[in-house]
Homo-oligomer: A and B are copies of this chain.
Amino acid sequence: MRNAFHDDLDRVSDQLVHMTEMVGTAMKRATDALVNTDLGVAESVIAADDDIDTVRRQVDDLAVDLLARQQPVATDLRMVVTAMHMASDIERMGDLARHIAKIARMRYPKQAVPQEVLPHITSMSECAIDLAKKTGEAIDSKDVHAAQEIERLDDRMDDLHRQIFAALHSEGWNHPTETAVDVTLLSRYYERFGDHAVAVADRIVYLVTGRYGDPDEGLER
């Protein structure tokens, strides 16, 4: 049965979906800044992160207001608490896009990423954008299968992360330490973006099934 509580919760859910769109865009543009050495785009991603933080605070305020006014219990209460945790994870995804833009800015007008790992970085970005989109869909639908698809997509991200580390450790790697440091951090940022999407997915699975997924991340380094 629909009631005021569910209308309020829908508003929270809509804001969460909006946040996933914002972080997906941030990730796309951060990678554009990196790949095309575009300082203006890098700066705009960094500036736009404040907007994501603002929406996150709105979600927290909406949720607290909802708890105070509706005093939900049981599953309803769990859903509100979960929404706040999701907002935290999605905000962090935005921070990671900003970190990537900051590396693009720091190395400008140089390209931070050497040619041979550029395809991996591009693939990681595509994976991240897809993860943001799927995360929004899973929040909207509360569908366990959509959530499970996020975990599969993150396996692809972990695989790309491993490939970059393999390239860094290969005999053929012939770049200054500065580049190794940049590529290490960039790969880590994309991989962590995926981990936060999985954390959101795990919460959806828990809400729907009452069971926790694996609390550990897909990949540890």
* Residue A208 at the chain B interface, CB threshold 8 Å: no
The interface size bin for chain A is 35 or more
Question: In chain A, residues 186-221, which have Cβ atoms closer than 8 Å to a Cβ of chain B?
Answer: 188, 215, 217, 220-221
A78:B99 contact, CB within 8 angstroms: no
B74:A68 contact, CB within 8 angstroms: yes
* Residue A169 at the chain B interface, CB threshold 8 Å: yes
Bound-state CA distance A29–B5 (Å) is: 47
Bound-state CA distance A74–B88 (Å) is: 21
Bound-state CA distance A63–B85 (Å) is: 13
Closest 10 CB pairs of A and B: A68-B73, A71-B71, A184-B184, A180-B180, A177-B180, A181-B184, A102-B220, A53-B215, A169-B178, A168-B177
Q: What are 14 A-B pairs at a CB distance below 8 A?
A: A68-B77, A84-B84, A88-B88, A102-B221, A106-B221, A165-B181, A168-B178, A168-B181, A169-B177, A180-B181, A181-B181, A184-B184, A184-B185, A188-B188
